[in-house]
Structure 1
């Protein structure tokens, strides 16, 4: 299985080598022709380059060059209210033209995607620690980019952080509400030495959480599996408890384990009767899909979605599964993830003809594209940077804990966690390394 993990990690890592503009470091959002770059994918790439160096996927020199090109681009790119700028107030637009680096598609300035970009920068700054001019510049730029983000502005005078802003209409009406990937956002925002969020913003966000009992588990609910993973990609939350989790006598790592077990049990019980669901076919999250369409199959009218945030147990669920989501749960439940990976590699052949590891998603129920999968499954034609990065990083966290160690060394992460009320875990002592599947 170690060979399977290493091969999967290496092939997935290649996305960030080939779907990139080396001149500015921007990473394409997905593999479709003429598609723009994503700042979230670019942030994940910054976290993946240290993995590439450690595993021999790229040289340290090449990783330094790519990282420095990325950080220089974001530091020097235009910030302001112009509609074609790259960012504003230290945040950046969700999609950027991969050649020019300017805003694409009149998209929003995204607080969460900017968070992922800044997390990648901080990880890079922690990894490239040599006393050379170029690595010192990486550390300086990573720190400067993080310090420039105006988290207080992103509150828009409210209690919680907004999803984003556009120069045409101002702040979006949506705020971070309910348990979601914004855990990382609040930690970075609270830890800022220049424009920090108030601790009250974290309290207001966590007050919107929903505790749920489903499929034998009591856990903090979020439907799509990625929500239980993205913050954990960067922060080792084993044994760390805030006020909410102390009250529940749990922690966010254990919560993600329970959410993974709910997903697995849901697939076994398969309440909506989709084809293929079972012990080794599970993982429902935000992903590409075969729709939009409505088709009557076996006397049942099925509505299929395209790209959507699918979730468990309340849906939406149209029979689409995402291998990357299952793989990214490896730290939480290796006893069910490892056999699933082996099944998809050796039996389902979901990797045998793919460029970057596993297919991004598949749907055994949908009749279209029968020739694309070994069992007649619809299989997505695209790979997505937001899917590839967590696979590389979470496999590495299980193999060596690299990203978690890098972020534990970042004083801003420690400060943000403490201001959010977290105690225990590595904040008091280093955690055990019993997750490792390598010896």
Structure 2
């Protein structure tokens, strides 16, 4: 949500970018298009997962090995931020690396060495009551302010990162000596986060930010519904600094008032999406919390099935794009998906925007459909196949570029953002095998935390 309400000034680089950039990659994609057309569905998914991994493997920040906030093939960077690490995107990157190991895309032993570097860096980086800042300098470990007053702990980005850290721990905890040592580092990082501090002295709600300079001046309570559910799950699950169930139900669910009886296209919405109650919010709300948290038949006191909640949000977005009330060229069953990403400003320059039906600017973001595979496998596969067989100019060295628009003369930007590229391989893998869901949901603390909050998941024997 913060990425919607706060200006990402560094993303609003005023330079004209068109499909003429990155010519070498496009020419290579055109040469490969015939073979791609013959790919099976599994081969297509393998291909895009392997490419998305490249962002976090080949283009990682050199010192910390964590995920850079952005990678630009056109080599245009605002404020020379090539060493800015994103904590939330790095959490998605950890999950992506695990997929890479499991699929044989990267050697396990080499991945362990890298992951050790990452955990050692995080242990020494600036922390605020255990939480990391939104951005970190990958060379020094010092906080890079996301905004003037946003120069301290960011609990939501920390939650996305911690979700990845826990999955790494679970994956390696029964391995060889080096792997067990890595798992121990992950465990120590997790146990050092003071989740309950972020209730501002015991209020029954979590707060997004705390800064030693500005204290609670950001004043951003985490209230549903948006992408922040995982923050409450982790806070309740903490073995060292937990919150209670009352904080979840009073804070996150707004005493149950976040429920909705509205429908769109005949599909129940179940919850009030913050600032987007007619159609639902940008699709990353169905992705970020669910890299590890398995929504399949997951329920709590108020929501009967989180999978249905997410599936309906994605289907409403899909049906909106098919209906295409603004008559954007290209929108349809194989070209859809609105979420926050780079965008095209009215003057043709590159900016950043949160796309969703009530803020539809004619820009499609590939991660929206690709990361929705668990909910809409057919619709997501149709998009994936269309993109790789019909629009090679929208594909770069690390998979689909962050955003594109057929309407604006096949506009794209040869750029990537970690938070967008980082959900693709994990969510596709959860659709294929449930790999990351199993790691996270079987963690003992997560099981206890979910039970504390009255969640139920028959799949994992949480009752």
TM-score of the superposed pair, with normalisation by structure 2: 0.82
Residue 195 (structure 1) aligns with: 241
Residue 117 (structure 2) aligns with: 69
Residue 266 (structure 1) aligns with: 320
Counterpart CA distance in 1 for 2:112 and 2:440 is 18
Partner-residue secondary structure (3-state), 1:412: helix
Correspondences of 1:162-241 after superposition (within 5 Å): 162-171=207-216, 172-204=218-250, 205-206=252-253, 207-211=256-260, 212-219=262-269, 220=271, 221=273, 222-241=280-299
Residue 51 (structure 1) aligns with: 99
Correspondences of 1:352-431 after superposition (within 5 Å): 352=395, 354-366=396-408, 376-428=409-461
Partner-residue secondary structure (3-state), 1:325: helix
Q: How many residues are aligned here?
A: 397
Correspondences of 1:24-39 after superposition (within 5 Å): 24-32=64-72, 33=77, 34-35=80-81, 36-39=84-87
Residue 176 (structure 2) aligns with: 132
What per-residue deviation string (whole Å, max 9, x for no partner) do you get for residues 410-434 of structure 1? 112112211221113323279xxxx
The alpha carbon displacement at 1:233 in A equals 1.5
Residue 88 (str. 1) matches residue 142 (str. 2): no
Gaps of 5+ in 1: 78-85, 296-303, 367-375, 431-439
Residue 310 (structure 2) aligns with: 256
Q: Is the 8 A contact 1:238 1:425 kept in 2?
A: no
Residue 340 (str. 1) matches residue 383 (str. 2): yes
The alpha carbon displacement at 1:22 in A equals 4.7
Q: Is the 8 A contact 1:25 1:42 kept in 2?
A: no
Assess, with a 3 A threshold, how the Cα gap between structure 1 residues 118 and 429 changes in structure 2: closer, same or farther. closer
Counterpart CA distance in 2 for 1:180 and 1:412 is 24
Residue 161 (str. 1) matches residue 161 (str. 2): no
Partner-residue secondary structure (3-state), 2:316: helix
Between 1 and 2, higher relative CO (CA 8 Å, sep ≥ 6) is seen in 2
Counterpart CA distance in 2 for 1:52 and 1:123 is 14
The alpha carbon displacement at 1:159 in A equals 2.0
Residue 433 (structure 1) aligns with: none
The alpha carbon displacement at 1:347 in A equals 1.1
TM-score of the superposed pair, with normalisation by structure 1: 0.86
Partner-residue secondary structure (3-state), 1:73: helix
After TM superposition, the structure 1 stretch with the greater mean CA deviation from structure 2, 182-191 or 419-428, is 419-428
Counterpart CA distance in 2 for 1:6 and 1:270 is 31
What per-residue deviation string (whole Å, max 9, x for no partner) do you get for residues 28-64 of structure 1? 1101443211011211222222211111111111110
Q: Is the 8 A contact 2:362 2:405 kept in 1?
A: yes
Q: Is the 8 A contact 1:350 1:358 kept in 2?
A: no
Counterpart CA distance in 1 for 2:330 and 2:302 is 37
The alpha carbon displacement at 1:90 in A equals 0.8
The alpha carbon displacement at 1:198 in A equals 1.4
The alpha carbon displacement at 1:399 in A equals 2.0
Task: Give the RMSD, CA atoms, in angstroms.
Answer: 2.0
What per-residue deviation string (whole Å, max 9, x for no partner) do you get for residues 179-222 of structure 1? 11211111100001111011111102113524231122111344
Counterpart CA distance in 2 for 1:425 and 1:294 is 52
Residue 369 (structure 2) aligns with: 326
